A and B are shown apart, each in its own frame.
Chain A
Amino acid sequence: MSDIVLDVQNLRVEFPTRKGVLTAVDDISLQIRRGEILGMVGESGAGKSMTGMSILGLLEPPGRIAAGTIHLSGDRIDDLDDRAMQAVRGRRIGAIFQDPLTSLNPLFRVGDQLVETIRLHTDLDKAAARERAKDLMREVGIPAVEERIDSYPHQFSGGMRQRIVIALALCAEPELIVADEPTTALDVSIQAQITALLKRLCRERGTAVMLVTHDMGVIAETADRVAVMYAGRLAEIGSVDDLVRRPRHPYTTGLMGSIPSLRKDVEELQMIPGSMPRLNAIPAGCAFNPRCAHAGPRCRADVPRIAREETTGAACWLAQTGSVDTAPLTQGEIA
């Protein structure tokens, strides 16, 4: 279909180390459509940032894409060389990172940084690029643009800096924006301003957004669909409403229950016992089985997967088959 902007198929990211190969992202498939915000949620080390980085072509060596494909509006981008990828990044995929101070060059005025980025990706002349920079700054809600355009990054507050970073990401009108923890460094009132801005831009421009965050609250308010990651794998994917109200994977259920409620009084928060396994000690079968209250023999033997073409699903034998103790089917029987 033509309105699929990002199409990730069976992505696998590996880190070869002296002690063996670590799989940071294990067989992830997902799609984002025009104007859609997909939230990627998971705890530290779940592989959500790694997925974002591999889409941006910014994996730190020795990390590498070991299998799978990434298509951007039909064009394959995971096998491009550095030079070709550089042309895609910025122009067709915008990036917003957590810390706005490190995303901006402290030695250059913000206006010059915007003009440089605009001129790199379009053929506007200097004066036209400056006008466009002002328009962008207005669009992301920076007051008194005429005075602020020649300020340095340190003269802006954290929230304003993040707005500049968003303006930078928008310079070339990208099809996709990868936003990695864009509001984590900000206070709640500023966080709300930034997520509202992202939502508005996505709606108005039809940009697809991958929103990577650990904050389920931000996802619930901003995203249309959510992908929950656990130990490098996709645990569950579906609409925000489904995941929040009817989570099917026991990990998602546990995650939701562990967030203190703003409405209900609970004496004790729901806990998931233990912690996420390290990448070098992922258990056989379902990676969540040692912490799962429902785990059965099948969970310890077979890895549950979400079928590639599904837009909603949980990688859980109980959710998929209603049972965890039946003898596993062979590959032939499934087909």
Chain B
Amino acid sequence: MSLRSNAILEVDALERRFDVSAPWLNRLIEGKPRKTLRAVDGVDFVIQRGQTLALVGESGCGKSTIAKLVTGLHAPSGGNIKFHGDRDRLQMIFQDPFASLNPRWRVGRIIAEPLRTLKPDTPEAEVSARVDELLRTVGLAPADGRKFPHEFSGGQRQRISIARALAGEPEFLVCDEPTSALDVSVQAQVLNLMKRLQKEMGLTYLFISHDLSVVRHMADVIAVMYLGRIVEIQPTRDLFANPLHPYTRLLLDTIPDIEAPQRDRSPMGGEVPSPVSPPSGCSFHPRCPLAFDRCKAERPQRSPDVHNRRVACFAAEKGPADV
């Protein structure tokens, strides 16, 4: 299948559990049971080379945990991740450009670090030439390499993070909320830069965000997550034109839209339940307007349709007439 052959990342039945039990002594004395948090609970997706797949969802849905699993910062508790590429050419951009740059290092040294680590034989002259070039690529000046991170604004720091990620000549970038800490006009600059770099260098992005409008602008395929599971995955255009899962629909109804000012919307009731004790069956059923008996008892599997176009919902399976 041509889809498979061009895949750069294949994630299959991925799971990550965290032990959040009380300390051993408390469990012994107070008789508390062990508790497990299923941060990622059976997730699978495929990313094609040169494309952007976005994971979107509210806090606690497991999207950042997936970023850490893919980059190897966490080990999976189950399932597997297949990366058809050079592990050294996988880099990450983090959300907070204040915490992700070493405040005591000059910017030039920060950007050169991946280069010095991955290709230690590179002559110094070549390293500094490359740093200058990277600074120019992200819209900064070579002279900025001699400054410290605190001398830059949030948007400029995020450019430095991007330059550092590019230093290792990556083919795959994991971007965890790269613009959430930025003002909108600065966000536009960073998003445009990321799109331009993708086109020029053929990069593949795993893009994580809670902002549906950003995701719509950036992604080719969108996976909507709820409580550690992907509830729906579709190409961007189809997801917005024809959302299948009730959670996706509610999410789309809920986001403020500047093109429809003073709209009276009906906000989604309830809150995301605790992932330590998720509801039975489909974990969205307590908030779902379409839920019926089967949703409480059984966990819907994502219908094994074509790749990257699947929904995990009994109501949606019953057909559009009932939805």
Instruction: List residues of chain A with CB under 8 Å of any chain B CB.
Output: 43-44, 157, 159-160, 187-193, 195-196, 214-218, 220-221, 224, 240-241, 244-245, 254-263, 266-272, 275
Contacts and interface: CB of A to CB of B under 8 A. Distances in A.
Contact of A218 (B217, B256, B263): B256
Contact of A259 (B250, B251, B258): B258
Contact of B258 (A160, A189, A216, A254): A216
Interface string B177-220: 00000011111110110010000000000000010111011000
B259 interface: yes
Given A189-B267, A221-B265, A271-B189, A262 B184 contact: no
Contact of B59 (A43, A187, A224, A254): A187
B272 interface: yes
Nearest to B269: A193
19 contacts: A43-B186, A157-B271, A160-B271, A187-B59, A187-B272, A192-B268, A195-B256, A196-B267, A216-B184, A218-B256, A220-B256, A240-B262, A257-B188, A259-B188, A260-B213, A262-B213, A262-B216, A266-B217, A270-B188
Contacts of B265: 192, 196, 221
Nearest to A190: B271
B185 A189 contact: no
B286 to A, nearest CB: 13
- A187, A195, A214 pick with most chain B CB within 10 angstroms: A187
B155 interface: yes
B100 interface: no
Nearest to B186: A275
A174 B185 CA distance: 35
Nearest to A41: B184
A192 B191 contact: no
Nearest to A251: B185
A322 B272 CA distance: 52
A217 B257 contact: yes
A266 B195 CA distance: 12
B188 A262 contact: no
A43 B195 CA distance: 23
A193 B179 CA distance: 24
Given A192-B265, A266-B217, A275-B155, A217 B258 contact: yes
Contacts of B216: 260-262
A333 B45 CA distance: 69
Contacts of A187: 58-59, 210, 272
B288 to A, nearest CB: 13
B254 A159 contact: no
Given A188-B58, A220-B261, A221-B256, A258 B188 contact: yes
Contacts of B189: 271
A257 B188 CA distance: 9
Contact of A189 (B58, B153, B188, B262): B58
A272 B187 CA distance: 11
B183 A44 contact: yes
Contacts of A218: 256
Contacts of B210: 187-188
Given A192-B268, A262-B240, A275-B155, A43 B184 contact: yes
B257 A220 contact: yes
B255 interface: yes
A240 B191 CA distance: 26
Nearest to B268: A189
Contacts of A216: 184, 258
B94 to A, nearest CB: 19
Contacts of A159: 271
- A157, A224, A258 pick with most chain B CB within 10 angstroms: A258
Contacts of B212: 188, 262
- B183, B188, B258 pick with most chain A CB within 10 angstroms: B258
Interface in B234-253: 240, 250-251
Nearest to B183: A43
B9 to A, nearest CB: 25
A259 B267 contact: no
B310 to A, nearest CB: 23
